[in-house]
Amino acid sequence: MTVRLGNDGERYSAAEESALLARLRAGDEAAFLALVDRYAAAMQKIARAYVRDDASAEDVVQEAWLGVLRGLANFEGRSSLRSWIFTIVVNRAKTRGVREARSVPFSALARDEVERDDPSVAPDRFAGPEGQWPGHWKEDPASWGERPEERLLSAELRARIDAAVDALPPVQRSVVLMRDVAGQTTADICNVMELTETNVRVLLHRARAKIRRALDAYVSEGVV
């Protein structure tokens, strides 16, 4: 089962987005505040992957919203509104990160993370060569689908997910936030982060596996 990070930054339908754009371009303040309410938290998470602290991430988000306001008239709808907004915040965050001396290109960090042969799942979860089924699971992973929905959506679980995401290496964290929080496509992530499609897929797989592994005890054993 794929780990998903909730519905932060939930998509608008095409009809909703068209109506919203019309209101935004007409200067409807309530429409803009609704947009901020919908996407600000996810933008903060993504910006934080690039900069040194929460205060810097907040500044990046503020700059991104100014960019949104200034760019609305020229937004041509070649991507979704959400994709466009998150591309702006990533670009602002990357620029801020360079100013803060985090100047190593993400593409270089990504190569290191992809080339490092860290296992996505702990090797001791699999049967050794002496077993009847070498290389297979010793025990089937617990099914999250059998857990009560209330628990899977609990604030405590969300806090554990956030902690697992924060513990990821920088590039894995950024990729999983862009894909599973911001809803960016693989192509969008490749373009924004200057990564190959293969690198994005490897990084995303490793990030999701680490998040799931961090949650195994909570989901399967009920550890609080």
**For residue 5, what is the enclosing H or E element?**
none
104-135 burial, b at 16+ Cβ within 10 Å, e below that, comes to eebeebbeebbeeeeeeeeeeeeeeeeeeeee
CATH topology of domain 14-99: Rna Polymerase Sigma Factor; Chain: A (1.10.1740)
- CATH 1.10.1740.10 in the chain: give the residue spans: 14-99
pLDDT for the residue numbered 174: 85
Number of Cβ within 10 Å of residue 221's Cβ equals: 9
What CA–CA distance (Å, rounded) separates 24 from 174?
Answer: 29
pLDDT in tens, 178-212: 888 777 888 888 887 778 899 999 999 999 988 88
CA–CA separation, 164 vs 6, rounded Å? Answer: 14
pLDDT band at 25 (very low <50, low <70, confident <90, very high): very high
| Residue ranges of the chain that CATH labels 1.10.10.10 | 106-221
Q: pLDDT for 95-122, tens place per residue?
A: 888 887 544 455 545 555 555 555 555 5
Q: Write down the pTM of the prediction.
A: 0.65
**In which band, very low, low, confident or very high, does the pLDDT at 62 lie, cut at 50, 70 and 90?**
very high
Residue 65 has pLDDT above 90, yes or no: yes
pLDDT attached to residue 29: 94
CATH code of the region 106-221:
1.10.10.10
Q: Where does the pLDDT of residue 3 fall: very low under 50, low under 70, confident under 90, or very high at 90 and above?
A: very low
Is residue 22's pLDDT more than 90? yes
